[in-house]
Chains A and B, each alone.
Chain A
Amino acid sequence: MTTLNTQPNFASAGQRPRHAYTPGDDFYDALIAAHRGLSDGQSELLNARLVLLLANHVGDLDVLREALALARRGVTAAATAP
């Protein structure tokens, strides 16, 4: 059974980054850029659409359930923190 990959995993095909942080920073930059100029409501919709697209791409329900649980655990922990 495949499990959720929680290790850094961003990469560009055929490219070998000189610095480990570069592909992740590239993604984050693109993500922030995708939100630029949107209202808060539009940003929420963008995030939701993105989750659904990526979930479909992953496909494996075991992996998705694991990701859902991990994501939720952090949220409820934050909600109960002082």
Chain B
Amino acid sequence: MLATYTWPRYEYRRAPELGAATLQRVPLVIVGAGPVGLAAAIDAAQRGLQVIVLDEDNTVSIGSRGVCYAKRTLEIFDRLGLGDRVVAKGVTWNVGRTFHGEREVFSFNLLPEAGHQRPGMVNLQQYHLEQFLVERAMQFPTIDLRWQHKLVSVTPGDDGVHLEIDSADGRYTLHADWLIAADGSKSGVRRQMGLDVEGKVFQDRFLIADVVLDGEPFALERTERRFWFDPPFHRGESALMHRQADNVWRLDFQLGWEADPETEKDAERVRSRVRAALDQQGFAHIGFELEWVSVYTFQCRRMAKFRHGRVLFVGDSAHQVSPFGARGANSGVQDADNLVWKLKLVIDGAAPASLLDSYDRERGKAADENLLNSTRSTDFMTPKSRAARVLRDAVLSLAVDVPAGRALVNSGRLSVPTVLTDSPLNTPDTEPFEGWMVPGAPLDDAPVRDAAGREGWLLAQTGSGFVLLRFGLPNAIEMAAIDALSRRRIALHPLLVLRPGERAPAGQAWAEDSVGLAAARCDARPGSTYLIRPDQHVAARWRHFDAAAVRAALDRATQQAPS
């Protein structure tokens, strides 16, 4: 049991399909009530879908797992209605310091440029996050959370997926039109379907010790992530210290492949490691209690395809990375973000099922990028040959006084969203733009003021459907054309982004670009127009509004057959 957390127990309920005479057909089933499955369920419910979530357990994740949630993930949590709770409970941090032996060789500051609602990174124990997600999901009558319902058989067909589920009251069957497999790295759905996940296992072991400190090494607002190569308290290996909520601290010690997991989990042995790490940093006066201890190994691998007909793999079931870089849960939540709006259009019959192939394409690229970066970090931290170790140590020795050396120190390249540059859903630019808001990029946030003069954020005004960001006041003809676009089957929500002093026509949604950052980040001039997807990525942009071009871009982003 943890000193700082009591696991909730969620109630098992009998399935209404038990003993039913006819096979129950449902639009969407999600397997796995972890962070990714729950994010997908909430997103689906917000977009108007009915969803059943199956989980074989009746509580949130046990022990210590994911810790770091990146800015883009926090923005998605905002869209899902729990961003404030995550940020309030979690620990915001910006400074990361890297040491080699006793010397500091590198530091970074995630402190983003001003004018973003969310910070670069928030640390929070995974069980808190999952609890917040469950409580948010419970607010939707359209989410049927089935605790202690275990999926035992998956039979995919052309028109859906046949599921057999075990529960305390017996076995029942469901026919799901669509199935999202969010059932983790040992995915039962993947195994049932006989699908492979390919990549490499790293021959190394790591010890996690989560400890509750009875003092504060540094004040909350000055929280640091510390990483060591070859520290005096743990010679020859690496170590990491990270703060979580409730003054719980994560210490992570590289052990090497030969280490015996059972020996290493011995409480006294772990305590002496933690004590040495604290003492060496000058925190000898701070005492601690062990909260959680485990030994882990990891893999870097992915499935070749994330879509298999009507089964869609998200998160760890589809791809697994090393923990260095916080790319596991973050990429999984971004998978859900990418998938659910597409699934909604397909279920509604508004887009062809082939739109879902773009989920595989876009998130496959993201998985490759995450695998590449986390593999590189791992290779740097745990060199696999003498030559690799010599080069790594040379980088660390140069890093002390040579900036070029510091730039090569890789103690984890932290999760950043993938820019979906090669996506078939993008419309390529026809006119030059400066900056980073290229088609495929997630839209940058910016402070804006609403019609009533209240301070808010640009991203908060996007995300429920396709949004047409139009900078500057349109003339009457343009306004009529924008209105017509908002009445199409896949509606476009126009949002005028105006300079201070400009006023929109009555009935038009608008935001005041109060400090000019929205226009600056989009390199926008009066007339510039952006098409934003429901997942807040840029689909297309133009220097001038052209209704036909917008229609074509929207058709492309939703894979409509040419008419």
Asked if A55 CB lies within 8 Å of chain B CBs, one says no
Cross-chain contact A43 with B387 (CB below 8 angstroms): yes
Within 1-57 of A, Cβ neighbours of B (below 8 Å) are at: 5-9, 18-21, 24-25, 28-29, 31-32, 35-36, 38, 40, 43, 46-47
Cross-chain contact B403 with A25 (CB below 8 angstroms): no
Asked if B294 CB lies within 8 Å of chain A CBs, one says no
Of A35, A46, A70, most buried by chain B (CB within 10 Å of CB) is A35
Cross-chain contact A35 with B413 (CB below 8 angstroms): no
Chain A residues with CB under 8 A of B401: 74
Asked if B376 CB lies within 8 Å of chain A CBs, one says yes
Asked if A78 CB lies within 8 Å of chain B CBs, one says yes
The interface stretch among B190-198, B404-412, B493-501 is B404-412
Cross-chain contact B407 with A78 (CB below 8 angstroms): no
Cross-chain contact B407 with A19 (CB below 8 angstroms): no
The interface stretch among B12-20, B303-311, B378-386 is B378-386
Cross-chain contact B385 with A74 (CB below 8 angstroms): no
Chain B residues with CB under 8 A of A75: 397
Chain B interface residue number, banded? 20 to 34
* Binary contact readout B110-139 vs A (1 if CB under 8 angstroms, 0 otherwise): 000000000000000000000000000000
Q: A35-B388, A74-B397 are in contact. Are A19 and B416 (CB under 8 A)?
A: yes
Cβ contact of A32, chosen from B379, B386, B407, B436, cutoff 8 A: B379
Cross-chain contact B387 with A35 (CB below 8 angstroms): yes
Chain B residues with CB under 8 A of A40: 386-387
Report the minimum CB–CB distance from A26 to chain B (whole Å): 9
Q: How far is the CA of A25 from the CA of B369 in the complex (A)?
A: 13
Cross-chain contact B419 with A9 (CB below 8 angstroms): no
Cross-chain contact A21 with B407 (CB below 8 angstroms): yes
Asked if B400 CB lies within 8 Å of chain A CBs, one says yes
Asked if B276 CB lies within 8 Å of chain A CBs, one says no
Chain A residues with CB under 8 A of B473: none
Q: A25-B376, A28-B380, A32-B391 are in contact. Are A74 and B400 (CB under 8 A)?
A: yes
Cross-chain contact A19 with B408 (CB below 8 angstroms): no
Asked if B491 CB lies within 8 Å of chain A CBs, one says no
Asked if B549 CB lies within 8 Å of chain A CBs, one says no
Q: How far is the CA of A70 from the CA of B397 in the complex (A)?
A: 11
* Binary contact readout B410-436 vs A (1 if CB under 8 angstroms, 0 otherwise): 100100100100000000000000001
Q: A32-B388, A43-B386 are in contact. Are A18 and B379 (CB under 8 A)?
A: no
Q: How far is the CA of A5 from the CA of B388 in the complex (A)?
A: 24
Q: How far is the CA of A32 from the CA of B375 in the complex (A)?
A: 12
Cβ contact of B410, chosen from A5, A9, A28, A35, cutoff 8 A: A28
Cross-chain contact B387 with A18 (CB below 8 angstroms): no
Chain B residues with CB under 8 A of A31: 391
Asked if B402 CB lies within 8 Å of chain A CBs, one says yes
Q: A6-B403, A78-B397 are in contact. Are A21 and B388 (CB under 8 A)?
A: no
Q: How far is the CA of A60 from the CA of B111 in the complex (A)?
A: 40
Chain B residues with CB under 8 A of A32: 379, 387-388, 391
Across the two chains, which residue of chain B brings its CB closest to A34?
Answer: B387
Asked if B240 CB lies within 8 Å of chain A CBs, one says no
Q: How far is the CA of A28 from the CA of B380 in the complex (A)?
A: 9
Q: A18-B436, A21-B413, A74-B397 are in contact. Are A35 and B385 (CB under 8 A)?
A: yes
Cross-chain contact B376 with A28 (CB below 8 angstroms): yes
Chain B residues with CB under 8 A of A36: 385
Q: A19-B416, A32-B379 are in contact. Are A25 and B410 (CB under 8 A)?
A: yes
Q: How far is the CA of A20 from the CA of B391 in the complex (A)?
A: 21
Chain B residues with CB under 8 A of A35: 385, 387-388, 391
Q: A29-B376, A38-B387, A40-B387 are in contact. Are A6 and B419 (CB under 8 A)?
A: no
Asked if B398 CB lies within 8 Å of chain A CBs, one says yes
Q: A32-B379, A35-B388, A74-B398 are in contact. Are A9 and B416 (CB under 8 A)?
A: no
Q: How far is the CA of A5 from the CA of B380 in the complex (A)?
A: 24
Q: How far is the CA of A21 from the CA of B405 in the complex (A)?
A: 12
Report the minimum CB–CB distance from B308 to chain A (whole Å): 31
Q: How far is the CA of A7 from the CA of B401 in the complex (A)?
A: 11
Chain B residues with CB under 8 A of A5: 404
Cross-chain contact B404 with A9 (CB below 8 angstroms): yes
Report the minimum CB–CB distance from B442 to chain A (whole Å): 12
Chain A residues with CB under 8 A of B101: 81
Cross-chain contact B419 with A18 (CB below 8 angstroms): yes
Report the minimum CB–CB distance from B231 to chain A (whole Å): 14
Across the two chains, which residue of chain B brings its CB closest to A37?
Answer: B385
Chain A residues with CB under 8 A of B395: 28
Q: How far is the CA of A25 from the CA of B407 in the complex (A)?
A: 9
Q: How far is the CA of A19 from the CA of B379 in the complex (A)?
A: 19
Across the two chains, which residue of chain A brings its CB closest to B397?
Answer: A74
Report the minimum CB–CB distance from B264 to chain A (whole Å): 28
Chain B residues with CB under 8 A of A28: 376, 380, 391, 395, 408, 410
Report the minimum CB–CB distance from B545 to chain A (whole Å): 28
Q: A8-B404, A32-B379 are in contact. Are A25 and B413 (CB under 8 A)?
A: yes
Report the minimum CB–CB distance from A14 to chain B (whole Å): 15
Cross-chain contact A8 with B391 (CB below 8 angstroms): no
Across the two chains, which residue of chain B brings its CB closest to A9?
Answer: B404
Chain A residues with CB under 8 A of B373: 25
Report the minimum CB–CB distance from B160 to chain A (whole Å): 40
Q: How far is the CA of A18 from the CA of B438 in the complex (A)?
A: 11
Q: Which 8 A-B pairs have the closest CB atoms?
A: A43-B387, A8-B407, A35-B387, A6-B402, A74-B397, A24-B407, A7-B403, A24-B408
Given contacts A7-B404, A43-B387, 19 further A-B contacts (CB under 8 A): A7-B403, A8-B403, A9-B404, A21-B413, A25-B408, A25-B413, A28-B380, A28-B410, A29-B376, A31-B391, A32-B387, A35-B385, A35-B388, A35-B391, A43-B386, A70-B402, A74-B397, A74-B400, A75-B397
5 residue pairs bridging A and B, Cβ less than 8 Å apart: A7-B404, A8-B406, A8-B407, A32-B387, A47-B387
